[in-house]
Amino acid sequence: MRWILVMALVGNVAYTETVREKQTKMGSPFILTAVHEDEDLAKAAIAAAWQEIDRLEAMISSWRQTSETSAVNRAAGLNPVVVSPETYGLINRALKVSSLSGGAFDITFASAGRFWDFRSGELPDPAAVAKAVEAIDYRNVLLDPDKQTVFLVQPGTRIGFGAIGKGYAANRALRVMVAMGIKSALVNAGGDLVATGVQEDGAPWQISIQHPRERKRLLAQLRITEQAVVTSGDYERFFMVDGKRYSHIIDPRTGYPVEGMQSVTVICPDAELADALATTVFVLGAEKGLELVNRLKSVDAIVVDATGTVTYSLNIHDQIMDGPVSNTQHTTDK
Ligand code: AMP
Ligand code: MG
C-alpha cells in the first residue's frame, strides 16, 4: 500500500527538459529554446520553428530575387504586384507604425538604404543618396485590399523589412512551438527576444540587456514571461570613417545614419511591434521616442543616447526589472 503511494507521487513529478539550438538565419544568430517533459516533442517543435523562419526568410528577404519583397521592388513605378495575405498584412502593419511615428519608421528607407554597404565600409555617393531620399515616403506604398496588391508608385522606391522582419519571425516561431504543445519557450531572433511560460526550474526567463559600449556592463536585468524584448543599436552593423560612426539605422529624412543614439530596448508583449518600435525610437531620439512610448499601453523602453545617458520610460514596471529603477535618468560613468 505504502509502495503504491510512493510510486504515484513519483509519477506525478513533472520532469522537464530544456532543448536549445542555434543557427544563423536572416543574417543573424538565432537561438531557439523549448522546455517540455518530452524532449522529442521539444526537438520537433524547434525543428518546425526553424522551418517557419526559413519560410519567412524566403518570403521577405531583400537579398533573394525570388522573394515577394524583390518582386514588389522590381515593379516600382511600373505596376502593382499581388502578394500573399501574410506579406500584405506585414506591410499594412509597417505602414501603421510609419504613420504613428510620423515617418521615422519607414520600410521605404531602403530607397536610400540600398546605397549603404556596411560590409565594404565605403561611404555612398552623396548625390545618389540625395536623389534616393526623394523616393523615401511610406505613402508611396499603395495597398489595394480587394486585389491584395502592393504598388510602389515611384520608380526609385524600394522596401525592406530589416527593422520588423526578425520580430515577426520571432512571433511566428514562438507560435509554431506553442501550437505543437510547448508551453515554455524563448526565441532569440538575432537579439530580438520573445518568451512564453517559464524556465525549467519554474522561474521567469531572465534577460540581460548589455550596455551598447561597455561589453561587460549590464543596462538592466529583466524577468519576463509573455513578453518581447528587442534592442536596436548602433554597435552591431556599422563602420567608421575618419572617426565617425555610420550605423545601419537610416533617418528617412536624410538617407544618412541616425547619429543621436547608441541603443534602444523596447519591452512589450509582441515581438514585431517591439522590433518596429525600437527602430522608431532610435530614429526619433530619446525625448520624442520616449514621449511616444509613454503614450502607448503595455510598452516600455530603455534608451541610451549618444552621450551615454540612459533614460527609462515612465511605465517601466519594478517587477520586470532587477534592482531599483529610480525615476527616469541614469548617466553612465564614462
Ligand atoms: P533594427 O535593428 O530592428 O533597428 O533594424 C535596422 C534595420 O532596419 C536596418 O539594418 C535596415 O535594414 C532597416 N532600417 C534602417 N533604417 C530604417 C528606418 N528608418 N525605418 C525602417 N527600417 C529601417
Ligand atoms: Mg527593429
Pocket test for ligand 1, best of 109, 118, 246 (most atoms within 8 A of CB): 109
Give the closest ligand to the alpha carbon of residue 250.
Answer: 1
Q: Of 35-39, 53-57, 237-241, which range is least confident? A: 237-241
Q: Specify the DSSP class assigned to residue 118.
A: T
Per-residue pLDDT of 66-84, as tens digits, reads 999 999 999 999 999 999 9
Pairwise CA distance, residues 3 & 256, whole Å: 73
Distance from the Cα of residue 153 to its chain's centroid: 27
Pairing of β 17-25 and β 192-196: unpaired
Per-residue pLDDT of 128-171, as tens digits, reads 999 999 999 999 999 999 999 999 999 999 999 999 999 999 99
Residue 228 Cα, ligand 1 centroid: separation in angstroms? 18
Residue 331 Cα, ligand 1 centroid: separation in angstroms? 26
CA angle 322, 324, 329 (to 5 degrees): 115
**Which amino acid type is present at position 66?**
T
Pocket test for ligand 1, best of 61, 250, 288 (most atoms within 8 A of CB): 250
Pairwise CA distance, residues 200 & 23, whole Å: 22
The DSSP element (H or E) to which 296 belongs, if any, is none
Cell of residue 131, nine digits? 536623389
Longest dimension (CA), the chain: 87
Q: Quick one: which of 297, 252, 266, 265 has its CA closest to 105?
A: 252
Q: Is the pLDDT of residue 329 over 60?
A: no
Pairwise CA distance, residues 169 & 57, whole Å: 8
Per-residue pLDDT of 183-232, as tens digits, reads 999 999 999 999 999 999 999 999 999 889 888 888 889 999 999 999 99
Cell of residue 221, nine digits? 536585468
Report the mean per-residue pLDDT for the chain.
Answer: 91
Find out whether the beta carbon of 283 lies less than 6 Å from any atom of ligand 1: yes
Q: Which atom of ligand 1 is nearest to the CA of 98?
A: 20
Pairwise CA distance, residues 161 & 253, whole Å: 18
- Neighbouring residues of 333: CB distance < 8 A, sequence distance ≥ 6: none
Q: Which atom of ligand 1 is nearest to the CA of 251?
A: 19
Cell 504586384 belongs to residue: 81
Pairwise CA distance, residues 129 & 44, whole Å: 46
Residue 278 Cα, ligand 2 centroid: separation in angstroms? 5
